[in-house]
Amino acid sequence: MHATAFHDDDTIAAISTAPGEGGIGIVRLSGIRALQIASQLFRGSRQFDIASVPTHSLHYGHIVHPVSEEWLDEALLAVMRAPHSYTREDVVEIQCHGGMLPLRNILDAALTCGARLATPGEFTKRAYLNGRIDLAQAESVIDIIRAKTDAGLQLAVKQLQGKLSAQVRELRDALQQLLAEIEASIDFSDDDIELISFAQIQCELRRCLDELSRLLATAREGKIVRDGLSLAIVGKPNVGKSSLLNLLLQEERAIVTPIPGTTRDAIEEYINLSGIPIRLIDTAGIRDTDDHVERIGVERTRQIIQQADMAICLFDRSTPLTAEDRKFAEFVADNDKLIVLNKADLPAQWDVADILNLFAAPVSPIELSITQHLGVDALKQAMVERVLDVPLESVAVTNARHKQALSAAQASLRHAEQSAQAEMSPEFLAVDLRDALRHLGDITGETTTDDILDRIFSTFCIGK
């Protein structure tokens, strides 16, 4: 269990429901004085001592201001005693009407009674520091809150259940056992007793490296399922970019006219494709123009193309290829892209081979008619296939910090493997194994520093 860094009388309070109007709002308190503060605020429908009520019990009454005795709201009071609570401290939740004014008044009353306003993520941080969850599980809480799709939610829930942590701990246990045997061979080196051979060390290191590689292989897919994929719709003016956005969204989100240059700024919307959140960006058409505002939009499009994960490059097959088409093809040559040939319902003005010649690397164009809704399913399928095959049945690494720690551990083990192959002194192997253990410990929190903790929990909302 982690040693808590909190003072005995440090009790925190915060509004734990989202801002705005709602049926129910919650003010949460956690700490040794949570029940005492609640007793100063709560007047039950019948007389009883809050300090004596059983854990996980719910009580009806109203909240009064401790100074003015003004009735602030009708409420339910939920009591959860330590250690059987979210933070493993005494926790009280005041469930009132979901307006910002009653919530703020109740929070102010709790602060008047001696509670301190919680910092972002402090309830979850206390759950971690008090040993209820590890750091990877704590980070999954914010992933659950921010999940954009069912697939992203499933991965976050698996991490909250500790499935990633379990695999990391299995790796750490194996490496700790190996380190113990290596250190034993160092301690008894003068006795000419070989406790573990270099061949055995290499075999165990290879097994651990294979497991690390397997976890790291899920990082790209995990990140995309968690954060989504940005996909820019790009091309010359009037090739159908805004129409394609509207078609994929199934709503008239972008203005569509036959006038080139209608789209001056990027329009962004999310869609869900097979559990993957896709951020679609409709961009201004790329062309040379004397219009100052349109020129700004074209420059912004160039920046978006460089930053996007992938681009849908739209060409109009019903008009002849131009120098602008060739210039555009050169611009997106190094991007991950899908080539889409629009207006397939109209007579073609050039062969598919003509577009293939514009790109150095092989491409597989998708023929599409936005107006006739032809080829849309093929485009969606190609988008998903180019992104990933989501490993929802297994644990996936979704967090950039976890990926960095796994990569660092992998580098340390590879160095140890090289030392074992060269049959170098066991002391060198021990140093590398300790480094790998430290990096793996960063994931679950065994070896994490305070500045990393502050950085992680600062991304949480207040009240969670």
Tell me the binding residues for K(+): 238, 257, 259, 262
Q: Which of 230, 156, 228, 216 is nearest to 392 (CA)?
A: 156
CA–CA distance, 141 with 137 (Å, rounded to integer): 7
Query: How far is residue 95 CA from its own chain's centroid?
Result: 29
Give SS3 for 197.
coil
CB distance 250 to 295 below 8 Å = no
Beta strands in 291-383 (DSSP E): 310-316, 337-342, 366-367
Tokens of 340: 């889409």
CA–CA distance, 14 with 12 (Å, rounded to integer): 7
Burial environment of residue 266 by CB neighbours within 10 A (0 to 12, 13 to 18, 19 or more): middle
Consecutive H or E run containing 217: helix 198-217
CA–CA distance, 378 with 428 (Å, rounded to integer): 55
Which distant-in-sequence residues (6+ apart) come within 8 Å of 62 by Cβ?
A: 42, 43, 71, 72, 73, 74, 75
Q: Indicate the DSSP class of residue 209.
A: H
CB distance 315 to 324 below 8 Å = no
How many alpha carbons fall within 13 Å on the CB side of residue 164?
35
Residue ranges of the annotated binding site for Mg(2+) are 242, 263
Consecutive H or E run containing 272: strand 267-273
Residue ranges of the annotated binding site are 28, 93, 132, 238-243, 257-263, 282-285, 342-345, 464
Residue ranges of the annotated binding site for GTP are 238-243, 257-263, 282-285, 342-345
Tokens of 8: 């005995």
